[in-house]
Structure 1
């Protein structure tokens, strides 16, 4: 049995490195963020506020490295997205400069003084004054984070003011521990960014979305706010954790420390997430929250005590990335769900059975899944388990 498990672990590691190697071979040349001045009338612009703890660099078109900086830096980045593309995809420039008609490119990258963050919110307030703060995951270069978040905002068609928080990731599979420590290094600055959004009179509602390892600084920043005796502002209505690389025992303790007066939490999980299998191996065989198998009664029992949580099980999805780790951004169904429901404060359990994308409720989940269940098991590819207790 030990031998069989070892073979399984080796296969998982080999697959991840093969896929990572393929992705690396397909990666663009450095410097893709150098602004392109060519105008293209049929492209779409996404205007981002970027807050980062990465070290700045003078290298053209890079702006920030994977190393740790001394201060929080802000920038306004405008991303141009080409027409005639499939949702969930990023069209990287094959050569520099990129072609706005065919590639993701930037049209402006301007530094912002930290003291001027409220001015930026005032000048970029979306209708409804809703803000989306996104925190990327492990193995993510700065340009990857910028283009991925712009893609999510564009494809979801969400009416939000987008804010990217980018912590120092070296963008290398072998730097897992460095990246994990970088999330600890950055959690206070993330808390500052969150509080600045809360304090802005031009912001009425905040959703925080984190992917993978980015879930750690989000939960820790919220925990720090709660532990410092400050209540979490009701402006923060939702926290979305996509494939969270969180120790399930630590996550439960974080929820206890944050307390019951917290935002509603939505979690995207997949029992087939190969990246989180490797993370579990590295982390002492403790299950990661994003990799739980909800057919296992013991995981349901652990989550049962938490209220105000909705879990979206993506295990049956057959599109997105080959590791089943970035489906929140690469699966058209999930991106559409994200835009049409979660950012409008709606739950899938309240969805119209005839809504596009095969998300209609078809059967009631038996028994207690998380808290008191009133949600439904959705027809493949997504199932939902929802608590009745929301803020």
Structure 2
């Protein structure tokens, strides 16, 4: 059995273990207004997609590709008494808003002008959060997960979801990866439209897993066309990035100057990225590196990259691939600090009981962070600009010191 085939088997097994059985299809059909729970909260979001419409109001979009960008105004009801970090899926239809996530509104916006009107109506002091989902996601998966993140983070932002054509099958890894390539220009244009909008003050791009490839490629295209990433796109969060470290190095270089601040969530026990590494030539995935070990530690410090290590954080995700969304402390960190561009290295950082910070390379700015937090569940290495790292020093040194094409 080859290592590549073994990796594919591991990938299938791990995702099969995490598969959700028994979910009803058609959960996006809006519930009746009189069924809404008065204790429930709602999240309104704009959803942009390069997926093909399904023709079914219960699913809206399929996993197939469309050359046209579609935009939908959606409102999601989130039940009270829910554990933070969880999505309460409907057990049957119609959904029960008192206990489950339910769609309140799903309205297609026919033009860019209508999307601008929506943005004006939902403006939150000019702060926009764009989320890009990962591998093996249906349209409704990404909608409900993003609604959960927005609600649990408490972020005062305009939520915009970009969902790309995933067939939501563990056997379609390559199809999904090619779909991210297919969607690069659509995401690029979405980000450019936001950056050009005078009502928008700043944009945070948050991407997960395979979606980090799409996010980095769209930002790279923006930089190549314009000489740099638009200044309003000042914050990029990459959660469990399924990115080859060598490829990420080139992407980072081509973002131009100045670059946005980039924060990466990593976890060495990420089983999905372990499988991805096996089927991707054995090259390290950015989301699975150990930032405290050499050569990564020194290279991260020199490159001034922000890394949050979630290895010791526990969640209900059996793959350990979605900790950023399922840990209450982490989603609060995203909403209260990272999205608003606040530094992590000060005495005001609070991630809940038993959660501490370790900051590498910036000891003088740590403030009152206690020395005994070196064994705390969360490790943070903070700097200003990121650069991916690898075990082969030649290419990394070249990128650190100048244009890798020279």
Give TM-score, length-normalised by structure 2: 0.87
Shift of 1:328: 0.7
Please say if residues 309 and 379 of structure 2, whose CA atoms lie closer than 8 Å, have aligned partners that are also in contact: yes
State the shift of 1:201 in Å.
1.6
Partner SS for 1:89 = coil
Counterpart pick for 1:358 among 354, 361, 377: 354
Which structure has the higher relative contact order (CA within 8 Å, separation 6+)? Answer: 2
d(CA) in 1 for partners of 2:237 and 2:161? 14
Aligned pair partner of 2:24 in 7, 22, 29: 29
Q: 1:293 aligns with which of 290, 295, 304?
A: 290
Contact 2:329/2:351, CA 8 A, preserved across alignment: no
Post-superposition shift, 1:236? Answer: 1.2
Aligned residue among 47, 50, 58 for 1:50: 47
Counterpart among 253, 257, 261 of residue 260 in structure 1: 257
Alignment correspondent of 2:340: 344
Question: Does the 8 Å CA contact 2:356/2:379 hold for their aligned counterparts?
Answer: no
Partner of 2:222: 225
The alignment of Structure 1 onto Structure 2 pairs a total of residues equal to 378
Alignment-derived partner of residue 395 in structure 2: none
Map of 1:99 onto structure 2: 96
Q: What is the deviation of 1:112?
A: 0.7
Q: What per-residue deviation string (whole Å, max 9, x for no partner) do you get for residues 19-48 of structure 1?
A: 533443535111011100122211111001
Match of 2:277 in 1: 280
Q: 1:118 to 1:104 in 2, by over 3 A?
A: same
Hey, what's the Cα distance between the residues in 2 that align with 1:354 and 1:228? 40
Q: What SS does the aligned partner of 2:254 have?
A: helix
Q: Does 1:185 align with 2:182?
A: yes
Name the TM-score, length of structure 1 as normaliser. Answer: 0.90
CA distance in 1, matches of 2:301, 2:349: 26
CA separation of 1:15/1:102 partners in 2, compared to 1, >3 Å: closer, same or farther? Answer: farther
Please point out which of 112, 128, 132 is paired with 2:129: 132
- The correspondence for 1:235, drawn from 228, 232, 237, is 232
Q: 2:147 aligns with which of 143, 147, 150?
A: 150
- Equivalents in 2 of 1:174, 1:301: separation in Å? 38
Does the 8 Å CA contact 2:14/2:272 hold for their aligned counterparts? no
Q: Give how far 1:300 is off.
A: 3.1
Partner of residue 311, structure 2: 315
> How far off its partner does 1:319 sit?
2.1
Q: Report the CA distance shift for 1:388/1:216 in structure 2 as closer, same or farther (over 3 A).
A: closer
Task: Output the CA distance in 1 between the equivalents of 2:177 and 2:385.
Answer: 32
Question: Which residue number in structure 2 is paired with residue 119 of structure 1?
Answer: 117
The 3-state SS of whatever aligns with 1:258 is coil
Q: Structure 1: how far apart are the matches of 2:286 and 2:359?
A: 24
Unmatched 5+ residue regions in structure 1?
none
- Partner residue of 2:383? 387
Q: What CA deviation, in whole Å up to 9, does each residue of 1:229-276 have, x standing for no partner? A: 343222112000000011101111111111231110000001111100
What is the aligned partner in structure 2 of residue 110 from structure 1?
107
Of 325, 331, 345, the residue aligned with 2:327 is 331
Distance 2:135 2:79 in 1: 27
Sort the Cα spacing of 1:266 and 1:27 in 2 relative to 1 into closer, same or farther, 3 A.
farther
Change (3 A) 1:121 1:252: same
CA contact (8 A) 1:16 1:323 kept: no
Alignment partners' CA distance in 1, 2:352 and 2:336: 10
Secondary structure of the residue aligned to 1:190 is helix
Q: Judging changes above 3 Å, is the alpha-carbon distance between structure 1 residues 18 and 253 closer, same or farther for their aligned structure 2 residues? A: closer
Query: 1:68 deviation in Å?
Result: 0.6
- The list of structure 1 runs, each at least 4 consecutive aligned residues, that deviate by more than 6 angstroms after superposition, is none
Change (3 A) 1:102 1:378: farther
Contact 1:78 1:107 in 2 (8 A): yes
CA RMSD of aligned residues (A): 2.4
Contact 1:35 1:106 in 2 (8 A): yes
- Is the alpha carbon distance of 1:364 and 1:121 closer, same or farther for their aligned partners in structure 2, counting shifts above 3 Å? closer
Q: What is the SS of the residue equivalent to 1:198?
A: helix
Give the corresponding residue for 1:201. Answer: 198
Aligned twin of 2:391 = none
In structure 2, relative to structure 1, the CA distance for the partners of 1:295 and 1:389 (3 Å cut) is closer
Judge conservation of contact 1:75–1:110 (CA < 8 Å) in 2. Answer: yes
